[in-house]
Amino acid sequence: MAQGIKETAYNFKGQTGYYKGKVRDVYFMGDKLLTIVSDRISAFDHVLPRAIPYKGQILNQIATHFLTASEDIVPNWLEANPDPNVSYGKKAEPIMIEMVVRGYLAGHAWREYQSGKRRLCGVTLPDGMKEGDRFPEPIITPATKAVEGHDEDISAEQILEQGIVTQTEWNKLSIYALQLFYRGSQMAEAQGLILVDTKYEFGRYEDDIILIDEIHTPDSSRYYILDGYDTRQKTGEKQKQLSKEFVREWLMENGFQGKADQMMPEMPDAFVSKVTSRYAELYEQLIGQPLVKADTKDITERIRSNVNNFLSK
């Protein structure tokens, strides 16, 4: 199997700090950030035990593609890609909420709906919907951005009451999130996909709000296959999708949903290879170009060399 990168422990020139996220390793460079997108994969707020080869490269290149394509909507943090797995740019003060936008009833929203709930994050959901049905208009269902542990649903009213953002900031975040979702939906449809739901993260930078982190990747978004969507909804057939949901489904089938009394199942080679293939499939369908896989023979040294060359310029 190809080599994956699960951990990084670099000491770059000018480095002032380090933070390890679920998937990204962030190296602080004064007023800049350098993020290395590892091949770790998480589900139910747990990092799975094995790295998925090429996943980090795929996520990084998809995010770069969509960040570049949305610069006219909202400024973002990205300035350069020194390596297929690496991004470099502005260091912003993160706003500690995720702007989750949903165009269709799926995933967490469907599980809540199925349990009988008709309000999600302060938003009233119509009665009589099936899994995969389209909402009359996209809805925003925010979540707290947890440093550790689970993100939690939160309403706009609670966000304002807790002073996480001002009313003016909330209005701006809402407009940005919906405009980004519409842009992402248009780009997905052009490639035969439906953007079902996604999340956006923002930060404060020089008295402005900018888009940070990744956007429209299979880790942050869910996509349905457009061809045959209407027929599948009418017949009750499960929608074909390209997202990380199949990983969650595999974990649930093997008795794991992230609960305290559950053990993480072993990931066999065949499943790891399948995950790589699914990520590559989404990349090629979403971007419309073949994936050019980077050399993974010594991925740790490759990243070190490329980043050091970039920082020395």
17-20 and 24-29 strand pairing: antiparallel
Q: How far apart are CA 32 and CA 28, in angstroms?
A: 6
Architecture of domain 94-243: 2-Layer Sandwich (3.30)
Among the listed ranges 88-102, 142-156, 167-181, which one has the minimum average pLDDT value? 142-156
Domain ranges of the chain: 94-243
Position 241 scores a pLDDT of 85
Position 148 scores a pLDDT of 57
Residue 149, both tokens: 């542990």
Q: How far apart are CA 17 and CA 139, in angstroms?
A: 37
- What would the 3-class secondary structure string for 62-103 be? HHHHHHHHCCCCCCECEEEEEECCEEEEECCEECCEEEEEEE
Stretch 68-75: mean pLDDT, rounded? 98
Q: How far apart are CA 36 and CA 150, in angstroms?
A: 23
Q: Where are the beta strands (DSSP E) in the chain?
A: 17-20, 24-29, 32-37, 42-43, 46-47, 78-83, 86-90, 93-94, 97-104, 119-120, 123-124, 134-140, 143-144, 193-205, 208-212, 221-225, 241-243
Cα angle value 48/51/52 (rounded, 5°): 110
Position 218 scores a pLDDT of 84
The per-residue pLDDT for range 2-24, each reduced to its tens digit, is: 889 999 999 999 999 999 988 99
Position 246 scores a pLDDT of 84
Stretch 40-63: mean pLDDT, rounded? 93
Instruction: Quickly state the pLDDT bin for 147 (edges 50, 70, 90).
Output: low
The per-residue pLDDT for range 258-310, each reduced to its tens digit, is: 888 999 999 999 999 999 998 998 899 999 999 999 999 999 999 999 999 99
Q: How far apart are CA 171 and CA 174, in angstroms?
A: 5
The per-residue pLDDT for range 222-247, each reduced to its tens digit, is: 999 999 999 999 999 999 987 777 89
Q: How does the average pLDDT of the chain come out, rounded?
A: 94
Stretch 170-190: mean pLDDT, rounded? 98
For residue 149, pLDDT over 80 is answered with no
Stretch 41-47: mean pLDDT, rounded? 88
**Residues contacting residue 312 through CB under 8 Å, at least 6 positions apart:** 13
Position 150 scores a pLDDT of 63
Give the closest residue to 33 by CA, choosing from 312, 311, 258.
311
Percent of the chain with pLDDT over 70: 98
Cα R_g (the chain), whole angstroms: 19
For residue 216, pLDDT over 60 is answered with yes
Cα angle value 74/140/70 (rounded, 5°): 20
Position 1 scores a pLDDT of 73
Position 146 scores a pLDDT of 66
241 has which bridge partners? 224
**Residues contacting residue 90 through CB under 8 Å, at least 6 positions apart:** 31, 32, 33, 77, 79, 205, 210
Percent of the chain with pLDDT over 90: 87
**Are 245 and 107 spatial neighbours (Cβ–Cβ below 8 Å)?**
yes
Position 313 scores a pLDDT of 87
**Residues contacting residue 65 through CB under 8 Å, at least 6 positions apart:** 287
